[in-house]
Amino acid sequence: MNYILIGMMGSGKSTVGKLLAERLDLKFIDTDTMIEEMQGLVIARIFELYGETHFRNLESALVEKLSCIDNAVISTGGGLVMNPCNTILLKNMGKVIYLKGSISQLSKNLEGVTGNRPMLKGNSLDVLLTVRAPIYENTADVIVEIDDMTSSDVLSHILDEINK
Ligand code: S3P
């Protein structure tokens, strides 16, 4: 079984994903980190040199590549679900968990860590969330609220939900 974490930037997918993988003794995969390693460039530089469309193509190629793995927790980039082909593959790969945060919580979590997040240049978090929220909700098997929670609170909620 795989567990796939989706949600906005700042929702804690990578932090919680690592905790979940440790707890369930599964591999941890972070799509952004994999793309950075495969390209030898940080995300911000990929956007700068080749643009968003190229980054989205890299994301989709990676999802296809990952589609046959098992026993992993996969943390996904916040915009990955915007391509419906990716969401179909993700849903077939395992249980999809949406880490749902309010704008104020997400903004708070992103304070001081927006450097490698090129989507925040020229896009408001608010608009991104409004557009993406229905897609996150429709794709998810499980929705976990993150507002005012620590990472270990979020982990406990996920464990409760997946053990139901
Ligand atoms: C993006 C989110 C980022 C990263 C890229 C684009 C987005 O990942 O994939 O900067 O479109 O929301 P995180 O959600 O891990 O920050």
Residue 77 Cα to ligand 1 middle (Å): 4
pTM value is 0.98
CB-CB contact of 32 with 53 (8 Å)? no
Residue 116's pLDDT is: 87
Residue of 33, 52, 109, 119 best suited for mutating to test ligand 1, as the one with most atoms within 8 Å of CB: 119
Share of the chain above pLDDT 70, in %: 100
Residue 79 Cα to ligand 1 middle (Å): 6
| Per-residue model confidence as pLDDT tens digits over 108-117 | 999 988 788 9
Q: Nearest residue CA, atom 2 of ligand 1?
A: 78
Q: Which ligand 1 atom minimizes the distance to the CA of 8?
A: 14
pLDDT at position 129 over 90 = yes
Residue 44 Cα to ligand 1 middle (Å): 10
Residue 26's pLDDT is: 98
Q: Nearest residue CA, atom 9 of ligand 1?
A: 77
Q: Which ligand 1 atom minimizes the distance to the CA of 13?
A: 15
**Ligand 1 pocket, CB under 6 A:** 9, 13, 32, 43, 77-79, 117-119
| Per-residue model confidence as pLDDT tens digits over 66-100 | 999 999 999 999 999 999 999 999 999 999 999 99
Q: Nearest residue CA, atom 4 of ligand 1?
A: 77
3-state secondary structure 41-94: CCHHHHHHHHCHHHHHHHHHHHHHHHCCCCCEEEECCCCHHHCHHHHHHHHHHE
Strands 72-75 and 2-6: parallel
Pick 114 or 64 by higher pLDDT. Answer: 64
What DSSP character marks residue 122?
S
Residue 114's pLDDT is: 77
Q: Is 97 helix (H, G, I), strand (E, B) or coil?
A: strand
